[in-house]
């Protein structure tokens, strides 16, 4: 079984109420059982919602209390992101999941690259909150970009 960001398989869970559907993600069903999950929704945020970015670090820093997740409107949603990450981890543990395919650049799911917190479409090295918590707990995280490159 694999946890996958729900927006990747066509569920409208993206911040703007849309999705990041790509048929290639559903092709995994030929080999694996997938469990779609959106940590932002599980953390109590609505869909649609104001876009958010990590300020002052990345997801590892958010988990340490050093960085914050802030919306474009200036609202601190850090606690929602942390709660959603722990809900995702709880699900992974219930099912014994050791691998996740997560949406690239997301403040929750990004792995290796995230937006820089300026809301100017700039990318920096870093990891989202859920991806960081997964990695800290031995769950392999594959970014959606990496997955598609290998297809």
Give per-10-residue mean pLDDT for the chain (151 aa): 97 98 92 96 98 98 98 98 98 97 98 97 98 98 94 74
Global confidence as pTM: 0.97
Contact 131, 61 (CB under 8 A): no
The pLDDT value recorded for residue 150 is 87
How far is Cα 135 from Cα 151, in angstroms, rounded to an integer? Answer: 23
Per the rule left: phi > 0, alpha: psi between -120 and 50, beta: everything else, 51 is beta
The pLDDT value recorded for residue 29 is 87
How far is Cα 75 from Cα 14, in angstroms, rounded to an integer? Answer: 18
Contact 52, 70 (CB under 8 A): yes
């Amino acid at each position: 079984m694999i946890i996958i960001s729900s927006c990747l398989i066509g569920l409208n869970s993206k911040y703007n109420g849309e999705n990041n559907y790509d048929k290639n993600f559903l092709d995994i069903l030929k080999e694996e059982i997938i469990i779609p999950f959106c940590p932002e929704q599980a953390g109590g945020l609505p869909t649609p919602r104001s876009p958010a970015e990590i300020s002052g670090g990345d997801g590892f820093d958010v988990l340490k209390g050093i960085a914050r997740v802030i919306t474009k409107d200036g609202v601190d949603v850090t606690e929602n992101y942390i709660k959603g990450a722990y809900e995702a981890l709880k699900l992974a543990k219930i099912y014994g999941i050791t691998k996740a395919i997560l949406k690239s650049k997301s403040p929750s799911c990004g792995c290796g690259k995230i937006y820089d917190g300026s809301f100017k479409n700039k990318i920096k090295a870093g990891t989202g909150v859920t991806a960081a918590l997964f990695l800290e707990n031995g769950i392999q995280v594959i970014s959606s970009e990496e997955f598609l490159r290998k297809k």
